[in-house]
Structures are given as C-alpha cells and as structure tokens.
Amino acid sequence: MSTRKYLLVIAGAALLSVFLFVPDVNRGVPSTVNDANGESEWTPEVREFAEEEPESIVVTVSMNPEEYERLRVENNRFMMKYPNIHVELNNIEQESVAHDVWMEQLQLGEAPDVMLMNSGWVQELAVKGYLLPTDSLGTGTGDPAPDQPVRLRAPLLWNSYLWGVPLDANPSIIVWNKAMLASASLQNPPKDWDGFKELAERAKAADPEARMVALYPGGLSQLLYWLDAWVPVNLADAAYLRGSNEARNDRLRWLGMAENPGGLFRLSNKLTLGSELEALHLLSAVVSWSEYKALPQAQQNKLVIDHNEPKHVWMDSRSFVVSSGTGAAESAFAWVAEMTSANVQQQNYERFGRLPAINSLYERNSFTSSVSETPPYWWMSLLNEDPAGKPPDPEWPNRRAGWEALWRQYAIGAIDMEAFIGAVQQVQGSSGKSL
C-alpha cells in the first residue's frame, strides 16, 4: 500500500472514531424561549431518542386567559424537551361548560388525553371508569405522597387509588375591615355565629350606614364558605349541598334580612379592597385567596384575614386527570409531571396567587428569592390537617349546579331568600335541578 493510501485510511479511521465516541452536543445545549412577560428562560435538556416513535396527545383545561397563556409557554418548553411528543392545547374558560363538555366526550369515548378540572369532579369520573389512576403511572396503590397537602389529595382518592394530580387551590377567605373591628374594641374577628351577630349589632348601633358582609353575585363558593365559617367542623355541611339544616337556614335568613340591597355586590376594584370596605362602611367580605394576594401592601394593611380552618376538603382546588381512553398514557403522564413540577407551581403562585400543591413550597427555599413570594406557612398546616368531612360524593357536581343556578336567581332578584331556601332543599343529586 502506498504511503498516500495509508494516510487516507488512518484519517478515515480517526474521523469515524469522532462520530462514534463524541456525544451529541445539541442535547446538552440549552435553548431559550420567551414567556408571557417577554422574559427569556432556559429550556430543559432535550429528551428525544432515535428509537422513540412520535406521539400526539390532546390536553384541555379550564382557566382564565392569563393562566392559559402561561400554560402555553410551559407547553412549548415541554415539546422542546420531548420533541417526539406533540401536545394540542385547548381551553374552555367557563368551568360549568367544561364539565358538561367533558362528560359528553367521555361518554362518547372522545375525551382529551389530559384534563385540568375542579378536584370535586374527579371522584364522579373515577367511579364511572372514565379515568386512569395517576399514582405510579397508573399502577400504584394510593400511598400518600409526603410532599402533597393531605386536603388536596383527599378528593382524588377512591377505592385506594389516586385519580388525579393536584395542581393548586384557591380557597375563599373572609377579610375584615380593621378600622371597624378596632372601633368595636376587637383585634381579631369573631369565631362563632353568636359572636358574629353580636358584632354586627354593635357595628350597626355605632354606624347606621354599616353593612356586614359582601358576597359576589352568583359566587356560590363564597356563600358556602360564609355559611360554614361560623360552626364547628363537625357541624359544617353547607359545602356538601345535601339535605336541610335549620341552623344553616337561619344563617341564610339573617343574610336575607341584613343585606344592603342585597349585601351581594361585586366590589368595583379588587386592587383597592381595603379602601372600598372603609368607604362602604362594610365590615367584611368573602374573597378568594388569589384576590387578596393581588392587593397592594397598603390595602392589605387595612384588612384582617380570618384564619378559619377550611371546612371542606377540595377548596376550589384543581387537578390534572388522564382519560382511561387515552392511547398515549406514558406521554400524558410525562406532560402532567412537567406541568405540576415545583418550579412551575412556584411561578404560578407568584403570577396568579393560587396556592401550590407542594408542601415544601410553603417554606423559603431555592425556588424563591423573597419571603413575599412564598405562600404563608399557616396555609400548609391548614392544608395538611386530616379532613373532618368526607370528600364530595359522585353526585356533588350535579347538586352544585342546581344550587348555583338558584343562587344566581336570588342574586338578580328573581326569587327571595325563602324561595331560595325552599328550592335548595329540593335540589336532586340525580338531575342538579330544582323541582
């Protein structure tokens, strides 16, 4: 062999060794993507392998436009990390519409692979066989996950399995006019119904223009929270929407008599809630936690939060579920795992104020740079207490739909309080309609 040919063979062998032994550098090079605020963030390492077949999944959620835009950013990041998985995202903004759409799709076998829904609906769908268990990729035993709040997992458990992955919660709270409490020589809100009525009488005597409580028109979650706020845990039943309870009816009658024409109104500007309560001579209001968190500090300083123990276990929480009809379960679970990661939940809390479903995020940690970005630690203790009541039964969503329709009728003046009370007691779980 000539010297020239020999050198060519040596060079070829060296080049081949480079291709065989040098890793694919593109897999380790991070890319950037702009989020909804135009900020540049690193994407995770790409996870595609040559032997993996391309796969598509459909994900449908129910959330407001701002949250949905943020989810789209996270979804794009997921598809960059898993190029072999294509994800089609859809949003149904109105929660009640989403429930009806999903029920029809599940019955027809046409449901999305993944859905984000109110945790109170999960048991209903699990009992009917529409969902896959979510613990250990559908093969688990329902053993507790130590870093997930007990109360956010409780409504997802049925038949010893978990049927959803909790994402967040947005419970109602009562905020109090600090100045009006001080004028009644109180630093803390009343803890029971008699104490509340006594405070209301004193406030009215001191200020004839005083009004006692604001509830959003048609906001059923706020009404249920207010009804149960004044009773011990073992007597709370409003949130379960079952049967008749005379003590609960008495609280409703009081509300009907005490309201300013109606005591039910939409506060005009949630960013000035403290000032509005002062201007309206309003003693208290029921708002969601995310609405309170969005207030400027100056407005929060005018309010006192009632740290009441939640009386029901789902607290406007949301969970991802996977349809039993999916043909891409592994990809669906991989997507859910990414969308419920600690980093994503922390960013969601900072942007939208919904409480995360990971206990460690309630302590100052590597995910936060400021105490103000960390959910209050007292929430973690409330979220991890053993639920006093049972999770919602499978017919709860239907009863809720019936109550909600009636409450909207009351809020617009179509029925009075006595008619509301009478109709509520006839709401049937099987139809969700009043008779």
**Which residue range(s) make up the domain with 285?**
172-309
Q: Strand, coil or helix: what is 366? A: coil
Q: Strand, coil or helix: what is 323? A: strand
Q: How far apart are CA 23 and CA 92, in angstroms?
A: 43
Q: How far apart are CA 387 and CA 314, in angstroms?
A: 10
284 lies in the same domain as 325: no
How many structural domains are present in the chain?
2
Q: Strand, coil or helix: what is 435? A: coil
CATH code assigned at 130 = 3.40.190.10
Cβ-Cβ contacts under 8 Å for 244 (sequence gap 6 or more): 425
Both structure tokens of 358:
């990971």
Please report the pLDDT score of residue 48 as a whole number: 47
pLDDT (tens, 9 = 90+) of the chain, 435 residues, equals 544 444 444 444 444 443 443 333 333 333 333 444 444 444 455 554 445 689 999 999 999 999 999 999 999 999 999 999 999 999 999 988 999 999 999 999 999 999 999 999 999 999 999 999 997 554 344 444 568 999 999 999 999 899 999 999 999 999 999 999 988 888 889 989 999 999 988 888 888 888 888 887 778 888 999 999 998 888 888 888 877 788 899 999 998 886 554 455 555 566 778 888 888 888 999 988 998 998 888 899 999 998 777 778 778 899 999 999 999 999 999 999 999 999 999 999 999 999 999 999 998 654 444 555 889 999 998 898 876 667 778 888 888 888 889 988 888 889 989 999 988 877 654 343 332
Q: How far apart are CA 361 and CA 376, in angstroms?
A: 10
Q: Strand, coil or helix: what is 22? A: coil
List 323's β-bridge partners, or say none.
131
219 lies in the same domain as 294: yes
127 lies in the same domain as 95: yes
Give the pLDDT confidence of 289-321 residue by residue, as tens digits. Answer: 998 998 888 899 999 998 777 778 778 899 999
Smallest CA-to-CA distance from 71 within 353, 63, 284, 397 is with 63
Task: Return the half-sphere exposure (C-beta side, CA atoms, 13 A cut-off) of residue 266.
Answer: 7
Q: How far apart are CA 138 and CA 154, in angstroms?
A: 17
List 162's β-bridge partners, or say none.
157
288 lies in the same domain as 258: yes
Cβ-Cβ contacts under 8 Å for 226 (sequence gap 6 or more): 172, 174, 213, 215, 255, 286
226 lies in the same domain as 292: yes
Asked if residue 419 is part of any domain, the answer here is no
Please report the pLDDT score of residue 412 as a whole number: 82
